[in-house]
């Protein structure tokens, strides 16, 4: 019985770890997209602008 409980605990922590990593990656992506999108550098701004339009994100 102890083996089964520890196995379930390990599985649960692996699932939580994977979900946390996915959420962190999504937040990082949004931050990068918004930071580059409002950058004064035209090349970086235009790349982010095109990416926002490709994903139907309103930008102006």
Crossing angle of helices 42-54 and 2-37, in 10° steps, is 120
* pLDDT at position 3 over 70: no
Cβ within 8 Å of residue 33, ≥6 positions away: 48, 51, 52
Length of the chain: 60
Provide the pLDDT confidence category of residue 14 given band limits of 50, 70 and 90: low
Scanning the structure block, which residue is given the tokens 């962190």? 24
Please report, for the chain, the start and end positions of each structural domain, with discontinuous segments joined by +. Answer: 22-60
Q: How far apart are CA 33 and CA 36, in angstroms?
A: 5
Mean pLDDT of the chain: 74
């Amino acid at each position: 019985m102890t083996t089964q409980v520890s196995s379930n605990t390990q599985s649960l922590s692996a699932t939580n770890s994977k979900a946390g990593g996915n959420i962190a990656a999504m937040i990082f992506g949004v931050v990068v997209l918004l930071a580059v999108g409002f950058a004064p550098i035209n090349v970086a701004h235009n790349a982010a602008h095109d990416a926002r339009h490709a994903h139907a994100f309103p930008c102006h």
